[in-house]
Structure 1
């Protein structure tokens, strides 16, 4: 079943009588599992109040281009990065024309220009306006740019006319929004993804770990599921819920993670090593809690197995993707790592930037493969994950 579990849907509501249907649309999107935030044009506020949509969405409604409450005073950029899908419903003839022309005159049109996520429009207008040649050209232009168009319906309109132009029903719009993420790019493929940190025990109560939240790996799992893959997560300790359609293997240490991966990869087509695996582990795990005593404590560490290099070295082996989370020289290090470990693709990101590093909901990265690379500008991790899965699908579909 199509779903929007944990997807970030930015709902744009423009000034038409169908704006009242936005209330039901929010409910439908939430029933599909989506997180919903709302942007309203001034015209929309004449038909339905921001307070109504705030109460339903559970978030403040955004109406102003320059938002003093925004984290950096750049509300439109923050909203654009947050969204996994920008859905405008109703989309009036005026909004459609402005989007077609690339104009940024208010918050909604500016967000649309700045948003890297897919755009979906649910047109709503008088039947003659819908039939107008200018509207037809604008719709065709947006469709050619990749916008998803839902509706309109044909029927009786608020003005008394009968014809095409009624906004599609909220249930149909929500279903269409969910279908955006069901790509089928990896239909029938088996994917194993590692995620989160590992914990290397020092004694029964202490361990060494890192700041990885697992959000990127879990977003990749959702994207792989959406692409039709049979997906298994091998996850270190995180506070996240795995996609319902994905298998989950919980592990703690690097050695446990390697064993789980080796058990799964014989039947695997694609292996994505997104986990932040500890490079070293204590040589001795004390059986009792280490007591505070001496001014100095010396520990000896052993090098952990290199999981992604081990999987890449198998014969036969799956299409193997690594991650390079670095603070300096990110691209150069990533290219060297890809070559040293025999990877098919590597995703490099700068974790020194707190806006996109560990625990952030956003990310920016560069995907690198033999003969090519692609920058993935800052967006939600779900958006970045979908792009990475798309790039992987493109690579495995190429002959040879």
Structure 2
């Protein structure tokens, strides 16, 4: 495809690369959002087939959908019976109450219904995104239909309720959840905890000490792992970066003490991988002042006490898990950074560390980080996307 082609999309990832994906559109008004959704799907490189029901064609034209998908659209029965192909995943969005009823009843009156019936037999993961008025969605029969559909290799993704309607989630959220559903059936999927953001310690009820971390790196790593089908839990401190979509389970822990307690609790949940991307304070204020320190004084004096190292505390109870930590240094040579990081891996019984220098972080001509493995191998990582992909490959290969 030419770079200036009007049909082109910017590639964001490869979680659908090599996969055959069927996208079905039914006759809800949210079918008008299909253009954005299809183009978001294509940003992750699937081999895409699109089927529209006759009702959907009354909402949006096959020509517009064909432009979005850069492919021919199946609008009626055809001799190839494309719906019977061995797809890696099927996404239906939007999905009407009428379509849900037909699906449960086993009605096959369209190519899309045939495709889903075949998918159930072939154990192909299906995700359905309903969009309907609240009076229909909350109806007992609708809930009964959804309960029957879920669990048969099918996932139902509801959007938020606004204006008395359950509207379709945005395209980024739909595609991310669909990728997670499809890829969760790959071998060797892991239960992963990612810590991210900064932590604080209170001086009084108003003032606090905080280190610097936006959470962007952790969110990028967690998002990629989620799209690749892993079960991801985020434990977040303070953040000011807004991720593209929300991972279902994010636990807020603004200070080092709360974060450590939460991590110890999670250690009882058979966690396979720990990624420590949070900037955890090394020192805390043990006795914060109740209320507000008067502002009339020229100086305020308080003491910070060295706090427990999360890596050391957890090492005692997660010995069989795969562990990746981050290490930030400054005013040292690259050779010294690699050497210190290699020692850091051994000392904390880690499998890998992501190391960088403070002075390199905003330099576009510098590598974003360096990946140092337990066996001594190390690799330069040019940017954040390559960093998250390197961690994903490291986890998949271990």
TM-score relative to the length of structure 2: 0.54
CA distance in 1, matches of 2:275, 2:10: 39
- Of the three residues 257, 274, 278, the one matched with 2:277 is 274
Is the 2:360–2:367 contact (alpha carbons within 8 Å) kept by the matching residues of 1?
Answer: no
Is the 1:192–1:234 contact (alpha carbons within 8 Å) kept by the matching residues of 2?
Answer: yes
Q: Which residue of 2 aligns with 1:248?
A: 250
Q: Which residue of 1 aligns with 2:196?
A: 195
CA distance 1:34–1:243, shift in 2 (3 Å): same
Q: Per-residue deviation at 1:13? A: 2.6
Q: Per-residue deviation at 1:23? A: 8.8
Q: Deviations over 1:157-184 (max 9, x none)?
A: xxxxxxxxxxx964268x9997997766
Q: Which residue of 2 aligns with 1:259?
A: 261
Residue 373 in structure 1 maps to residue 363 in structure 2:
no
Residue 338 in structure 1 maps to residue 345 in structure 2:
yes
Residue 223 in structure 1 maps to residue 197 in structure 2:
no
SS of the aligned residue for 2:193 comes to strand
Q: Which residue of 2 aligns with 1:348?
A: 355
Matches for 1:209-220 after TM superposition, within 5 Å? 209-220=210-221
Q: Per-residue deviation at 1:315? A: 5.2
CA distance 1:21–1:295, shift in 2 (3 Å): closer
CA distance in 2, matches of 1:32, 1:384: 27
CA distance in 2, matches of 1:24, 1:388: 22
CA distance in 2, matches of 1:213, 1:282: 22
Q: Which residue of 2 aligns with 1:310?
A: 313
SS of the aligned residue for 1:194 comes to strand
SS of the aligned residue for 1:352 comes to helix
Q: Per-residue deviation at 1:34? A: 5.4
CA distance in 1, matches of 2:300, 2:294: 10
Deviates more, 1:211-220 or 1:345-354: 345-354
Number of aligned pairs? Answer: 251
Residue 326 in structure 1 maps to residue 313 in structure 2:
no
CA distance 1:281–1:25, shift in 2 (3 Å): closer
Q: Per-residue deviation at 1:338? A: 1.4
CA distance 1:352–1:24, shift in 2 (3 Å): closer
Structure 1 gap ranges (5+): 1-10, 36-84, 88-117, 121-147, 153-167
Greater RCO structure (CA 8 Å; 6+ sep): 1
Is the 1:356–1:378 contact (alpha carbons within 8 Å) kept by the matching residues of 2?
Answer: no
CA distance in 1, matches of 2:370, 2:362: 16
CA distance 1:283–1:244, shift in 2 (3 Å): closer
- Of the three residues 265, 268, 286, the one matched with 1:283 is 286
CA distance in 2, matches of 1:201, 1:28: 48
Matches for 1:73-84 after TM superposition, within 5 Å? none
Matches for 1:356-371 after TM superposition, within 5 Å? 364-371=368-375
CA distance in 1, matches of 2:216, 2:381: 17
SS of the aligned residue for 1:231 comes to strand
SS of the aligned residue for 1:392 comes to helix
Q: Per-residue deviation at 1:237? A: 1.5
Structure 2 gap ranges (5+): 13-32, 50-65, 72-88, 91-171
CA distance 1:295–1:309, shift in 2 (3 Å): same
Q: Which residue of 2 aligns with 1:236?
A: 237
TM-score relative to the length of structure 1: 0.54
Q: Per-residue deviation at 1:246? A: 3.8
